[in-house]
Amino acid sequence: MPAKNESFVQTLRAQWLGQQMRELREQRGFTLKRAAEFLERDLSSVARWERAEWPFRRGVVVSLLDLYGEHDPATRAHFIQLAEDAWRTDRWDDDYDEIVDASFIDFPWLETRAEQICSFDAMLMPGLMQTPEYAEAVIRNAEGKRATPFSVAKWMQLRLDRQRVLEPEFGVTVSAVLDESVLRRPVGGPALMRGQLTHLGELLRRPNVDVRVLPATIGLHPGLDGSFWLFKMPKPYPEVAYAETLGGRLFMESPKSRRYAEAYARLQQIALDPSGSAKLIATIAEER
């Protein structure tokens, strides 16, 4: 049970850990009662851990892995790391808790754990590909009257921190389909947009970055409901789709994520290929 002075956010990874611990227990033929007796806890405590209502502590996970006879080093390391991530809520919460709410915590965690990050961007440049100047303009617009030098600086630092996943050595493939209007939307003036488009063109040269432009000549298409993200995770994690609305943030696992995966695949097919996209980006940059 969490201590009285501790708080716990039920994150995606906490839910995944609970689900995987329950599946392992059932596969090995152990009941909740047996697990509770082994830990010298009441049965409801183990049930709440598995439902992610309470955080699994590292020591509890290690003890249960011993009970369930799971001795494979790689598997044990996976469970233990997930337990640490689930409780710690990752460094993003520690560094940026003044500006982000709990529902945001899973997003940068997914970015750092995904094998591939896919996004369809209908209005603005992907956050991972924004220049500092572009990011500041977007952040100030989003913050509105709430903007302070502190909040803007914090949001910008968070945006730039997240961009480390673009480095090839990080091992993440970043793929984006951009509506042509994103390239033409005037954000911060011609000079700022020229710099942003030039930066985007430079990113295209990276082996782990794929950007395709959906030309304005395309009429109806699968992205008309708005921007979305798709995180393709390593096993045993499920694929996760993410969408943002004025009403809040939505994280969706399979089978709901399949609609987004199918929409993204279709958008890639009808968008310009990487070469044609690079040419269009360069042409629009020259027009600024």
Structure tokens at 78: 């996976």
- 10 confidence band (pLDDT: 50, 70, 90): low
Predicted local confidence at residue 129, as pLDDT: 97
Tell me the C-alpha distance between 232 and 76, whole Å. Answer: 22
Q: CA-CA distances (angstroms) from residue 103 to 72, 80, 152, 215, 248?
A: 34, 23, 19, 33, 9
Mean pLDDT score across all residues of the chain: 86
Range 20-39 average pLDDT: 92
Q: Between residues 75 and 271, which one has the greater pLDDT?
A: 271
Predicted local confidence at residue 87, as pLDDT: 60
For residue 248, give the 3-state DSSP assignment.
Answer: strand
- Contact yes or no for 240/233 (Cβ under 8 A): yes
Q: Does the pLDDT value for residue 53 go beyond 60? A: yes
With a CB cutoff of 8 Å and minimum separation 6, the contacts of 245 are: 226
Q: Which of 140-154, 175-189, 228-242 has the lowest mean pLDDT?
A: 140-154
CA nearest neighbour of 201 among 122, 129, 116? 129
Q: Between residues 93 and 196, which one has the greater pLDDT?
A: 196
Predicted local confidence at residue 100, as pLDDT: 53
Predicted local confidence at residue 2, as pLDDT: 46
* Number of Cβ atoms within 10 Å of the Cβ of 247: 6
Predicted local confidence at residue 251, as pLDDT: 87
pLDDT digit string, tens, across residues 201-219: 999 999 999 999 999 999 9
